[in-house]
Structure formats: structure tokens, C-alpha cells
Amino acid sequence: MAEFTMELNDEQKEVRDWLHGFAADVIRPAAAEWDEREETPWPVIQEAAKVGIYSLDFYAQQYFDPTGLGIPMAMEELFWGDAGIALSIVGTGLAAVGVLANGTEEQIGTWIPQMYGDANDVKVAAFCSSEPDAGSDVASMRTRAVYDEAKDEWVLNGTKTWATNGGIANVHVVVAVVDPELGSKGHASFIVPPGTPGLSQGQKFKKHGIRASHTAEVVLDNVRVPGSCLLGGKQKLDERLARARERAKAGGERVKNAAMATFEASRPAVGAMAVGTARAAYEVALDYAKTREQFGRPIIDNQGVAFQLADMRTQIDAARLLVWRASWMAVNGKPFTAAEGSMSKLYASETAKKVTAQAVQILGGNGYTREYPVERMHRDSAIYTIFEGTSEIQRLVIARTLAGMPIR
């Protein structure tokens, strides 16, 4: 087990500096354009693939970093560049985590490479869990998967929403209900291979922030996938469902569902994204406060501004430490006995909203215009308290964990 440390080693520092350079030289100069266009920044993703950032190998190296700090460090630097473009670069990772959390070794080896493609032909993947009537309330999910034993196929029907890369992805990972009587415990995850008939893109959403990231509905109309596309395999699913039924009869002991396993693994990473956006806004505000003069002196000489910057920096550092702790715990197999993963996501998300709003205030009228990036950062920050579990859901998870109650 790697010891917990607040100091990156030399190799991690080298990777951090490399990512920071890419974010500064490639992502930031393109941020305003792709935010206005509200389109997937394929040229930037391709540049990331050419240098090795958008690749299975890179994310595998960070994912298996024994300190747990590889992924949060990478997320912070890329999202420091721009949240919308960075989400287009890393959005495939949520689908990959879904396969890693629930799939067999063969499924991992088969499907994750197809999610990324290569530098000459980049691909993206989508994780499809939320539905129009089932966002935080995963027990209300309606998308069904029915097994056709004669053909060894699963038939999927339903509509998914808020799917990053939904409809444009090469590979879709879809969470569906296989046993409605078990609620959230009766869910399973499925791979929908590229070109599968019946899968189509529904509405593409025009968003407040992260506008360079494609978000859309995914419609599943009698989508047939081979039995091998059930993540984990049918034997494992049948065993899990049998245990869930027995526990339901005995009083409802907690059992993880497929979507929850993915979100538990990814929440600290979302916290790191929020830290990157907050840090970016803070740095812009700090530089502005040092150079902007009013009444014959830089505005940072005024306590009203200086104290805001002091609080911003303190909150950012505290958020990063919570993210790092949760990431270290996750990679070293330490249970989140106090919902430390949700803590990190909650605090970092709230910090990003607060810090970006303060940055706009410090810049005054300039901060409210698109001539300065804090306006975009403020819009982008709103998503962190919403996706992959709202702040309210994080508080519920934390409270129920502390009380020793099951998380549904």
C-alpha cells in the first residue's frame, strides 16, 4: 500500500507539467471558440491523441498509479485549461470506468480500446444512466433489458438523457433494468457496439456551460446486443440478483448497483475537475487584482478584495486535499466509511461555484463580459454541483453513511 502523501514524486510532476503545457498552449487558446460553437472540438481531441493524452495507455497509467493521485492531478490540469474542452477529452473515461467497474477482463480488453480509437481516427464513448424521469432517483429507471434466451441476446428499450457523447459515441455503455421488482438492485450494464441498429441520438442539449462537450439523449428502440455484451456476464448477474432477492426477503441489506459502482469510482475525479476550474478562475482574479488600479493603487491592496482571494485559495487547497484523500483511499482499497468520495465531490463542486463567482466580482464589469474567461468559468462551474450526483444527493449519501443506513 502506498503511503498517503501531499507531495507529487518526480514522475508525477513531469506528467503534471506536460499536461499543464498542453492545457495552456492547446486548450486555452481554443476555449472561447468552441464554447461559442457549442460543438465537439474534434481537432483538439485529435491533438490530445497525437501527443498521447487521449489514449487508453495514458489513462491506464494514471488509473493504476499506486498513490491514487494520477487521475486527480490530470483532471485538475486539463480542466484548468477549459472545462468544456477537457470534458470532451475525458468524457470517454466515464464509460471506460463503467466497464472497468463491472466488466470481465475479456470485456475490458475488447471494448475500452474501441472507445478511444487512435490518433488518425479518434473515437469517443458514452455512459448512459440518467433518464428523463430518473436522474438522482436511479430506482425509477425505466429502460428495460430483456433476455432472449433462444438467440442469447439482450433487447434494450428506453430513453437515456444527459449522456456525454450520447449518439456520437462509437461505444455506448447503457444501464438498464433487468428485474423491476428489485428497484436499483435490479440494474445491469450493457455494451452497445458501434453501428447497432435501433440506437439513435435524440435531443442535443444547448447548455449554460461546458458547451464544447456534446450532451444528448440516447434513444433505444429494440436494440439487440449479444449476451457477451452484458458487463460481468450472465452467471454473475444471476448470482447477484439471487442474493438481492434473498436479502430483500430478509430485510433489505445494502447491495451496490451497476450505476452506483461507476459513480463511486468517479466522484473524486469530478472533484478534481472542479478544483481545476476554481484554480483557473482564482489565478485570473489574482493577476487582475495585482494590476488593476483604482484610487491610485492596485485593488489587491483593499482588504475587501485581498480577503476574498485569501478565502478562495484556502478553499481550493482544502478541496484538493479532500479529493486526494479520497483518491488515495480508493486506489488502496480503503472503504469510504464516512462517504469520503462524496465529501470530496461535494466540497470541491461547491468551492468551484463560489470561487468563480468571486472571480467575476473581483473583475467587476470586465468579469461579466466574454472578453475575460471568468465569465465562461463561472458558467462551467454550475455543472459540478449537478452531474454525477447533485450536491443534495452527496449530502444524503454522507448523512446516510454516517448514520449506518443503506444508500438506495
Q: Which residues are catalytic?
A: 388
Closest CA to 209 of 363, 71, 79: 79
Closest CA to 282 of 369, 377, 209: 377
Please, what's the largest Cα pairwise distance for the chain?
82
Q: How many C-beta atoms lie closer than 10 Å to residue 13's C-beta?
A: 12
40-64 core/surface letters (b: 16 or more CB in 10 A; e: else): bbeebbebbbeeebbbbebbebbbe
User: Measured between alpha carbons, how far is 272 from 263 in angstroms, rounded to an integer?
Assistant: 14
User: Measured between alpha carbons, how far is 259 from 256 in angstroms, rounded to an integer?
Assistant: 8
Phi–psi pair at 81, nearest 5 degrees: -70, -55
CB 272 within 8 A of CB 75: yes
Closest CA to 104 of 227, 244, 259, 186: 227
